[in-house]
């Protein structure tokens, strides 16, 4: 046992008998005890994503050409959704609160008889995880840059994600119809981040467009189809369906639903499916226009109805031979994830204990968070938990997809100073009545900025005030005189001026021994507001009578500063 502990310490952690050990750790232990070990990954039994991988699609005789999947990325308000509106002749942005995209939109359009699937990802900083997920399921990435605004923070983030994905990039230079459009300025900013346009001798296609007027949209679509032809994208429509979940939610009357983009195969109504720890049978399929369809082909997008629970966005959907097998796989995944979660060691190092002690000193804002879709919930949870400093933090005690329920109210009532926050969900009359009766606050939002601003304001209000201090003057105590109500310190002002009504501190041999209020300041027998340098005065300090000759009396003011998170 001592040898095992030594090996595990050498690995940089202390493990218990319940911990999961990695392959490297097991091999080190096996070598230490001179035994042969064959490691088997328990996940391999239900790793359907890799088992049905499309990496060898090129040698598949049933593989045929498939449409490209395009992700549109960029900074908030640079016109991503408006451009997509123009392409599909819809009005998506107008339906989004605040005119910004707060969910992933997945749409399929036709150009010259060929299909193109688009993923529109939100531009707000809180949706970094969603944009990353969009970049991971795409073939070509379009980065929209406003010609009048240039490269902005989320543009830089999108560029980074696009490069990491390894997918071809096309720049859509939007808002060319605006009077202040300056494409050269925007292209210069892109070049600084490694995206050199073809016109400047680089390899990145740049198409000038206007989402408002439609200028350049046909050219953009033709550029996409040309790039897709070069990529020679293929899939096997006869294979078992495999797709990626880009969004999930709970819909009234339908239950858990998932928006997917097909990677391979054909998904049909009635197919047994498994998505992470969720399973079920496809009861209904809908396209992006909410119309019922019978099947989804490779690279097409749609909404799946029939799962038992809401799957996590980013999970892989795989079709199975039968529902029993799908259920067994889902249950195995659930058990594996549960055991791994419980196996995390509770042992703490000294650094851990120090961090825990520090954590205990933080003031926490407890929140129960509900959202309409999983992608928004994930982004909000990530962003809110990052709103913290050395003094305050957000503690999300519960989160979930769906409406606010009476159970949420009961949980908030049982927690100290907890509020319920809903994003694109509203409480029913019964829930409102229960919340009012128990004194639980429910706040609902439909714009991401407003929720984040409110939480930031709440955390700021919990922070201790900060002050800046200004010294006004110092005086040496020469004599002390007793009076009926205490003592008067006879002083000589040696620096600045003493000010009545402000704060005062008594300093003895360089050490502050008292701080309080200067209540009385006299020049001979007259009360005065202040005494300047070089004059004698009498000082009475409220609540302090232990002044002795040789002490220094210092007056100062404190100005409260605005604290920020």
Q: What is the CATH number of domain 350-462?
A: 3.40.50.10050
Mean pLDDT computed over 273-286: 92
Residue labelled with tokens 């980065």: 143
Mean pLDDT computed over 181-193: 89
100 versus 66: the higher-pLDDT residue is 66
- 52 within 8 A of 242, measured Cβ to Cβ: yes
Q: Is residue 307's pLDDT more than 90?
A: yes
Mean pLDDT computed over 548-562: 87
Confidence of residue 317 (pLDDT cuts 50, 70, 90): very high
Confidence of residue 557 (pLDDT cuts 50, 70, 90): confident
1 versus 305: the higher-pLDDT residue is 305
pLDDT, the chain, mean: 81
Q: What is the pTM of this model?
A: 0.64
Q: Is 272 helix (H, G, I), strand (E, B) or coil?
A: strand
- At a CB cut-off of 8 Å and minimum separation 6, what does 520 contact? 488, 500, 527, 538, 539, 540
pLDDT of residue 322: 87
Q: Is the dihedral of CA 390, 391, 397, 403 positive or negative?
A: negative
Q: Is residue 4's pLDDT more than 80?
A: no
For 190-211, the pLDDT digits (tens) are 898 889 888 888 889 999 999 8
Pick the CATH number of 242-341 from 2.40.30.10, 3.90.1150.10, 3.40.50.11540, 3.40.50.300: 2.40.30.10
Mean pLDDT computed over 291-317: 89
268 versus 417: the higher-pLDDT residue is 268
**Exposure of 203 by Cβ count < 10 A (0-12 exposed, 13-18 middle, 19+ buried)?**
exposed
Q: Is residue 425's pLDDT more than 70?
A: yes
Pairwise CA distance, residues 359 & 348, whole Å:
14
pLDDT of residue 355: 54
pLDDT of residue 561: 75
Concatenated DSSP letters for 23-81?
HHHHHHHHHHTT-------GGGGG-HHHHT--TTGGG-TT-EE---EEEEEESTTSSHH
How is the chain split into domains, by residue range? 1-39, 67-232, 242-341, 350-462, 466-561
For 114-128, the pLDDT digits (tens) are 889 988 766 444 445
Confidence of residue 164 (pLDDT cuts 50, 70, 90): confident
pLDDT of residue 30: 77
pLDDT of residue 122: 61
Q: Is residue 492's pLDDT more than 90?
A: yes
Token reading at 323:
């529902």
Please check whether the two domains, 67-232 and 466-561, share a CATH topology: no
Q: What values do phi and psi take at 178, rounded to 5? A: -75, 150
pLDDT of residue 41: 62
> In terms of Cα–Cα distance, which of 345, 296, 339, 347 is closest to 317?
296
Q: What is the CATH number of domain 67-232?
A: 3.40.50.300
**pLDDT over 70, % of the chain:** 82
Mean pLDDT computed over 47-57: 55
For 356-400, the pLDDT digits (tens) are 445 555 688 889 999 888 878 888 888 898 888 888 888 898 888
Q: Which fold has domain 466-561?
A: Elongation Factor Tu (Ef-tu); domain 3 (2.40.30)
Q: Is residue 108's pLDDT more than 70?
A: yes
Q: Is residue 518's pLDDT more than 80?
A: yes
For 441-480, the pLDDT digits (tens) are 999 998 888 898 899 888 888 887 888 888 889 999 999 9
pLDDT of residue 145: 92
Looking at residue 209, the DSSP 8-state letter turns out to be -
- At a CB cut-off of 8 Å and minimum separation 6, what does 532 contact? 493, 497
pLDDT of residue 102: 45
């Amino acid at each position: 046992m001592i040898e095992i502990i030594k090996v595990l310490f050498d690995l940089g952690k202390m493990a218990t008998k319940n911990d999961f050990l990695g392959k490297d750790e097991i091999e080190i232990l096996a070598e230490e005890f001179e035994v042969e070990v064959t490691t088997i990954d328990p996940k391999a039994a239900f790793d359907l994503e890799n088992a049905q991988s499309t990496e060898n699609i090129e040698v598949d005789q049933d593989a045929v050409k498939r449409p490209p999947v395009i992700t549109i990325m960029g900074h908030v308000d640079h016109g991503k959704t408006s451009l997509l509106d123009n392409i599909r002749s819809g009005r998506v942005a107008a339906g989004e609160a605040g005119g910004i995209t707060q969910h992933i939109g997945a749409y399929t359009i036709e150009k010259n008889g060929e299909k193109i699937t688009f993923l529109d990802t939100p531009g707000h900083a809180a949706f970094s995880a969603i944009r990353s997920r969009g970049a991971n399921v795409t073939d070509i990435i379009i980065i929209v840059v406003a010609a009048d605004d240039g490269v902005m923070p989320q543009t830089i983030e999108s560029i980074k994600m696009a490069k990491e994905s390894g997918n071809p990039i096309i720049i859509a230079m939007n808002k060319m119809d605006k009077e202040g459009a300056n494409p050269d300025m925007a292209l210069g900013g892109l070049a600084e981040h490694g995206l050199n346009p073809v016109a400047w001798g680089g390899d990145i296609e740049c198409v000038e467009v206007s989402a408002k007027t439609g200028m350049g949209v046909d050219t953009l679509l033709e550029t996409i189809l040309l790039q897709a032809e070069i990529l020679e994208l293929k899939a096997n429509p006869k294979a078992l369906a495999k797709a990626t979940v880009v969004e999930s939610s709970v819909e009234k009357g339908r239950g858990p639903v998932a928006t997917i983009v097909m990677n391979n195969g054909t998904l049909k109504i009635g197919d047994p499916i498994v998505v992470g720890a969720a399973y079920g049978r496809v009861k209904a399929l809908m396209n992006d226009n909410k119309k019922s369809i019978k099947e989804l082909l490779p690279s097409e997008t749609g909404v799946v109805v029939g799962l038992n629970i809401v799957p996590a966005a980013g999970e892989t959907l795989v079709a199975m031979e039968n529902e029993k097998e799908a259920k067994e796989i889902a249950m195995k995944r659930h058990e594996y994830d549960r055991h791994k979660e419980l196996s995390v060691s509770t042992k703490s190092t000294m650094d851990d204990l120090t961090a825990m002690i520090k954590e205990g000193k933080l003031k926490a804002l407890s929140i129960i968070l509900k959202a309409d879709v999983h992608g928004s919930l994930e982004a909000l949870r990530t962003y809110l938990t990052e709103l913290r400093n050395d003094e305050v933090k957000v503690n999300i005690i519960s989160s979930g997809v769906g409406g606010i329920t009476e159970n949420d109210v009961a949980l908030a009532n049982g927690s100290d100073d907890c509020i319920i926050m809903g994003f694109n969900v509203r409480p029913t009359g019964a829930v409102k009545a229960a919340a009012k009766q128990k004194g639980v606050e429910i706040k609902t939002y439909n714009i991401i900025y407003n929720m984040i601003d409110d939480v930031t304001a709440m955390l700021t209000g919990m922070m201790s005030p900060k002050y800046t201090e200004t010294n006004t003057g110092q005086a040496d105590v020469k004599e002390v005189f007793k009076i009926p109500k205490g003592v008067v310190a006879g002083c000589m002002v040696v620096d600045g001026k003493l000010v009545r009504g402000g704060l005062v501190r008594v300093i003895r041999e360089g050490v502050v021994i008292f701080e309080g209020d200067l209540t009385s300041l006299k020049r001979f027998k007259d009360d005065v507001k202040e005494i300047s340098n070089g004059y004698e005065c009498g000082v009475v300090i409220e609540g302090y009578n232990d002044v002795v000759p040789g002490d220094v009396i210092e007056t100062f003011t404190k100005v409260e500063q605005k604290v920020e998170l």
